[in-house]
Amino acid sequence: MRLNLHGERITSSYEKERKMERSKQVFSYKTEVDPETEIIYGHVTMMTDRKAADVPYYVISDEVFAVDEDSFADKPGVNDLLGMLEFFYTESDRLLDTVVVFPQMRDDLIRMETFSDWLQQWQRYFYLSNVKDIGFIVSHTQPESERFCMILEELGFEEMLSSEEEQQSFYFYNVTYITPVDFPNDDDGAVLQSLKDSGVDMSKPREVEFILLCPNRRSARKVAKLVELEGYEVDVDEDEEHEEFVLVCKKVIHLTHAEIVKHQHDLEEITARYEVKIDGWGAMVD
């Protein structure tokens, strides 16, 4: 359980990551290709209250737009969706490779406490499947539309299009974030160089998480206090399996090799009196 210095329970990104890892077994993904239109019809299956729930989605590549429009004559919903996507990518000057679109979402699923975690897990799945664009159609006539929009915006999605009657909106996110899963020790700057090579704006300040490992609660609390005095936000987690305490120390800095090395060196000096191991760093980039 994570506690702050006042003994209050907190939820850190480290905890959310572990929670998402445990929930992976809940989902299964199935797809079927329509040979006539090249559209991939898929659905995510999950277990909720011991019942299976299916969430449909489309996987649409640029090849779909080369298909004769007559092929979609008997699919008015799909035809409207393609028109919206074509307009969006043209107006935004974005290059369409492949996009995943969820056309609808059930209210009972949106109300679930873990719904936000599910969306993040789906994002991760599609990112690892090399699909970086993802969109959701939100119907404003459904009861949980306000909560749905709020969750999407918290996850970085933006409302890009809205129907003339404002009955539905298209929320879009380009999943180009990189999460170092094991918080790498980037001694030679190779990780940062790869981010730069992939087009990430390295001049933009980012929130970086430095991971410290402490052998017991007493030292963890002392180290957390010292690190907080240096301007870090600190979350403390007990790793019962490894019998140690994990400190996630967050600070907004410029994501450069020099800055990373400097802050790791500073943390080493701050914690020199204690048996602390610096277990690398992690960052979210867009």
For residue 123, the domain's CATH number is: 3.40.630.60
Q: For tokens 């907004």, what's the residue? A: 252
Give CA–CA dist 135/126, Å, rounded. 12
Tens of pLDDT, residues 161-190? 887 677 889 988 886 544 443 445 555 566
Of 146, 174, 202, which residue sits at a domain end? 174
Q: Final residue of a domain: which of 174, 202, 228?
A: 174
Confidence band of 71 (pLDDT split at 50, 70, 90): confident
Q: In 96-190, which ranges are E strands?
A: 98-102, 133-139, 158-162, 168-174
Q: What is the rounded distance in angstroms from the CA atom of residue 35 to the CA atom of residue 64?
A: 10
Beta bridge partners of 246: 213, 237
Residue 167's identity, in one-letter code, is Q
Q: Which of 238, 245, 247 has the alpha carbon at shortest distance from 267?
A: 247
**CA distance linking residue 264 with residue 42, whole number of Å:** 44
Asked whether residue 46 falls in the same domain as residue 157, the answer is yes
pLDDT over threshold 80, residue 18:
no
Burial of 155 (C-beta count, 10 Å sphere; 0-12/13-18/19+): middle
Phi, psi of 152 (to 5 degrees): -60, -45
Task: Please give the tally of structural domains in the chain.
Answer: 2
Rounded to a whole number, what is the distance in angstroms from the first to the last CA of the chain?
A: 30
Same structural domain, 276 and 194: yes
Asked if residue 182 lies in contact with residue 280, where contact means CB atoms within 8 angstroms, the answer is yes
Average confidence (pLDDT) over 82-91: 87
Same domain, 96 and 124: yes
Residue predicted with more confidence, 143 or 197: 143
Nearest Cα residue to 101 out of 45, 51, 170: 170
Helix axes of 115-128 and 13-23: crossing angle, nearest 10 degrees: 80
Query: How would residue 19 be classed by pLDDT, with cut points 50, 70 and 90?
Result: very low
Helical H runs in 155-276?
190-197, 217-229, 257-270
24: pLDDT confidence band, cut at 50, 70 and 90?
very low
- Say if residue 116 is in the same domain as residue 216: no
The closest alpha carbon to 82, from 107, 62, 109, belongs to 62
pLDDT of residue 21: 42
pLDDT per residue over 105-144, tens digit each? 999 899 988 888 888 888 878 877 778 889 999 998 899 9
Q: Are 177 and 285 in contact (CB under 8 A)?
A: yes
Q: Please indicate, yes or no, whether residues 86 and 204 belong to a single structural domain of this protein.
A: no
pLDDT of residue 177: 43
Q: Which two tokens stand for residue 210?
A: 């430095």
The structure tokens listed for 223 are 């180290």
| pLDDT bracket for residue 250 (50, 70, 90) | very high
The answer, yes or no, to whether residue 20 has pLDDT greater than 50, is no
Shared domain check, 167 and 48? yes
pLDDT at 255: 82
| DSSP secondary structure letter of residue 130 | T
Domain's final residue, options 139, 174, 209: 174
Mean pLDDT for 272-281 is 87
- Domain match, 135 and 198 both: no
Phi/psi for 212 (5° steps) reads -115, 140
Q: Is 82 inside any structural domain?
A: yes
- Residue 158 or residue 6, greater confidence: 158
The answer on 248 and 164 residing in a single domain is no
Question: How many residues does this entry show for the chain?
Answer: 286
